Chain A
Amino acid sequence: MCDPNKNIYLPYLATVSEVIDETPDVRTLRLVFQDEQVRDRFTFRAGQFCEYSAFGAGESTFCIASSPTRTGAIECCFRAVGRVTEALRRLEPGDTMGVRGPYGNSFPIEQFYGKNLVFVAGGIALPPLRTLIWNCLDWRDKFGDITIVYGARTEADLVYKRELEEWQQRSDVRLVKTVDPGGNGPAWDGKVGFVPTILEEAAPSAGNTIALVCGPPVMIKFTLPVLEKLGFGDEAIYTTLENRMKCGLGKCGRCNVGNVYVCKDGPVFTAGQVKQMPLEY
């Protein structure tokens, strides 16, 4: 009866298997598809997104925050700021929610083989890169040096704290973590400063390197010139756009940036592509 192939707006049902509070208002949900066939069939690539629903509240759009290399469950990560995200936050382990997807394009990870990677993320924008970070770490020998520059307003606003710890311990990852001035507590062992400044200080080499940037518009705005200064070309920089969406299917008409539909043509774009777009994101 319920066939998402016929009715494209029907979600798969998933059980919340775990909830993790990343910050006081950011939560990770770990989801297991209820239908065994869907569990086996559902595949995605790093960078793709889903429409997640709390029945009775509606749907919200987030990337898939877990890596495609980790099967059995997917994760989403969101800040509770509205009707749907508040309802998603009220879900407890064992509860049922809806998932439509995966939608959109993805990071062309095959093109990154043999290259160094620099991930630059701010605040709640780590999840869209974290899927790719773990994908790359799980296929570690396919890539050169991996650098992660991650910052948030305060220590409390850093997400995936346990994983930051893990990345810090690893000898095959260089993690540079930072908080905005005033956001550090007495025990803070990272940098203090805005992400673009800290990135410039960390000065990763642009040679044979791909930069992957995700953050609030203001961070992107000041990060791109820094990358340019470090020698990164427009086609060596990738980002994801996060316009408001409803259908995720190229129908409902709201996520467009000029004639580009973020849900179909994106959400992953190179800096070169973004520079061609009108300022509508």
Chain B
Amino acid sequence: MRKQITADNFNALLQALIDSATRVVGPRRNAGTVLYEPLAAADELVLDELPRRSVKEAFFPVCEDLLAYEKQGQGVQVQDVDPALFPETVLVGVRPCDAAAIPVLDAVFSWDYKDRFFLERRAKTTIIGLACTQADDACFCTAVGLSPNEPKGADLLLTPLSSGGYLVEGHSEKGVALCRSYAALFSEPGNGEPLPLAQPQPTPFDLKRIKAWLDDHFEDPAWDGIATRCVGCGACAFVCPVCHCFDIVDEGTEKAGKRRKYWDACGFWKFTHHASGHNPRDLQPKRYRNRIMHKFKYYDDKFGQTLCTGCGRCVRLCPVGIDIAGVLGEIEKKAND
């Protein structure tokens, strides 16, 4: 399906969705920071800035309740979460580096045991992607097999036109159904000129080659050089669209409270710390190595996918300037030597 929509009609579409009590989530400015948040009005949408955190939180929030407990004498009442936590949602203005993360995360949350929290939100969310026309020095989607107009993960993909409207491509039943419901707002594709796409770091990595090196180099002096700078702040994992490690904690009193899931990060010292005091990843280089291994080897071993979309957020935010694309470049160079 290919259609076109004017900028005004696109706003009208969002407003109609909001007015119909659909939860519409998109990049929105909150105290200076752009984040994916529910929109109260269509004009809150901010499309000229990559949100600070990735879109994963629309499916896998920073913190969410898993259950509530309340003690009654020696007994305990456990209350499951309210299914109202998973409303029908339209996600809008999602860059390809964010949208592509969602099918990658499907693998871990749906294999074997099914994580209802991720999967119910997934089933109830329609993703309207936006082809990317702005790259900065940290962007490297093209280096990890994606592109500024990659449709992976998007139900609809919008490509900005010089006229101000969008070319609209349907990439799933869900996306096509959404267009059909608001058919009057769309027109047949005309001869509008698409805006030039972003041009991030153009050289693709040989991810197979990088993985082959990782397969044989768990122990390698290079890790010390690569990873000693890491201070273990965890910022990279928190802004990453595909990092998905989490912690489970109880919050409340002994009488009543909630059990919650929180984002966690393999860069943290306590992440693998045993009760005995032993820590298999006792030093930061070991933890950084795990980050690289998980993204470019383990997840591939297990699910046949790479755990990185090249969004560049970790590069922009790292307080000690670690550039994961640079690290991959170094590894590729070693693999070629």
Q: Residues of A with Cβ closer than 8 Å to B?
A: 1-3, 6-11, 13, 15, 53, 55-60, 79, 81-82, 85, 87, 94-98, 216-217, 242-244, 246-247, 249-254, 256-259, 261, 264, 278-281
CA gap between A14 and B271 in the complex, in Å:
28
Q: Which residue of B lies closest to A60 (CB)?
A: B275
Q: Is the CB of A9 within 8 A of B219?
A: no
- Knowing A8-B116, A254-B266 are in contact, say whether A56-B254 is a contact too (CB < 8 A): yes
Q: Is the CB of B113 within 8 A of A251?
A: yes
Partner of B301, one of A53, A87, A259: A259
Q: Is the CB of A280 within 8 A of B245?
A: no
Partner of A10, one of B80, B246, B281, B302: B80
**B257: interface (CB < 8 Å):** yes
Complex A-B: 5 CB contacts under 8 Å: A56-B253, A58-B249, A246-B264, A252-B246, A252-B264
Partner of A3, one of B74, B80, B254, B255: B80
Q: Is the CB of B116 within 8 A of A6?
A: yes
**B185: interface (CB < 8 Å):** no
Q: Which residues of B contact A98 (CB under 8 A)?
A: 76, 78
**B294: interface (CB < 8 Å):** yes
Partner of B247, one of A15, A246, A250, A257: A246
- Knowing A55-B71, A243-B274 are in contact, say whether A278-B80 is a contact too (CB < 8 A): no
Q: Which residues of A contact B71 (CB under 8 A)?
A: 55, 96
Q: Which residues of B contact A246 (CB under 8 A)?
A: 246-248, 264
Q: Is the CB of B254 within 8 A of A55?
A: yes
Task: Give the interface size class of chain B.
Answer: 35 or more
Q: Which residues of B contact A87 (CB under 8 A)?
A: 254
Q: Which residue of A lies closest to B218 (CB)?
A: A278
Q: Which residues of B contact A244 (CB under 8 A)?
A: 271-275
**B226: interface (CB < 8 Å):** no
Q: Is the CB of B81 within 8 A of A7?
A: yes
Partner of B113, one of A8, A15, A256, A259: A8
CB contact list, B264-280 vs A, under 8 A = 264, 266, 271-276, 278, 280
Q: Is the CB of A13 within 8 A of B76?
A: yes
Q: Which residue of B lies closest to A103 (CB)?
A: B113
Q: Which residues of B contact A96 (CB under 8 A)?
A: 71, 74-76
CA gap between A68 and B335 in the complex, in Å:
49
**Distance between A43 CB and nearest chain B CB, rounded to angstroms:** 17
**Distance between B75 CB and nearest chain A CB, rounded to angstroms:** 5
Q: Is the CB of B272 within 8 A of A254?
A: yes
